[in-house]
Amino acid sequence: LALESALHRALEREELVLHYQPLIDIARARIVASEALLRWQHPDLGLVAPGDFISLAEETGLIVDIGEWVLRNACLQHRRWREAGHGELRMLVNISARQFRDDNLPRLVAQVMAETSMPTGQLTLELTESMLMEDSSRSIDVLEELRGQGVRLALDDFGTGYSSLAYLKRFPIDELKIDRLFIRDIDRNPDDAAIADAIIKLAHSLGLRVVAEGVETAEQLEILTRHGCNFAQGFYYSRPVPAAQFPLPD
């Protein structure tokens, strides 16, 4: 309960911060995007990871306001980078289940994009399989509405949920992010390598681009390169860092 009221005040006290982690285009060996990742700079607890407060924010409904803050601030940061000459970078923002259920989401996204002059195709929203499965016909409508607004869509944590391949085709998405669970042992475990390879082939056959998450070593990257994975994200390149430390491309 103490944490809940503290989280309530976190927004107004400006204790929330975004860190950014680069995504690398593997073929071009170039940073092409950043994922905004939320942190809570608590006065006593220090930097609190989202794993420790996102679910609380979901349960209490605070996630709706927090999610709006995240979206707006990520888009504002993107505008700063555009103004500094990095207009080609894309921005990826995580959307929670509760936000996705909120019928106001497409309107909010349109409003924030207008406020920040976000160019078409530069903002990607990350969603998970389970949130799309909840009410799949509504999900398709929402996804199409968002896409119509010039937003790109990524399926996050792919492989950890239902992973029903049938609906990959039904949902209008652009990108698939392979969960880091499948990347971790890719250079040691032939089953994981086979799974990653199959996901990449399937995604490509459906016209989706693929991001490998949690890439930590050159060996993992080498295998992903051979399998034709499009993008890599992970500690091998950079941890999530404050905007001022983001490794902007030349």
Binding-site ranges for ligand G (CB under 6 A): 21, 37-38, 49-51, 54, 70, 94, 96, 156-157, 180, 213-216, 234-235, 240
Contacts of 11 (CB under 8 A, 6+ apart): 62, 65, 66, 69
Q: According to the binding rule CB under 5 A, does residue 129 interact with Na ion?
A: no
- Asked if 157 interacts with Na ion (CB under 5 A), we say yes
Q: Other C-beta atoms within 10 Å of 201: how many? A: 13
Question: Using the rule CB under 5 A, is 129 a contact of Mn ion?
Answer: no
Binding flag, residue 175, Na ion (CB under 5 A): no
Secondary structure (3-state) at 202 = helix
> Closer CB to ligand G, residue 96 or residue 122?
96
179 touches Mn ion by CB under 5 A: no
| Bridge partners, residue 153, by sequence | 125
Stretch that binds Mn ion, among 6-14, 76-84, 153-161, 201-209 (CB under 5 A): 153-161
What count of other Cβ atoms lies within 10 Å of the Cβ of residue 89? 20
To ligand G, the closest distance from the beta carbon of 181 in angstroms equals 10
Nearest to 134 by CA among 107, 109, 171: 171
Tell me which residues touch Na ion (CB under 5 A): 156-157, 213
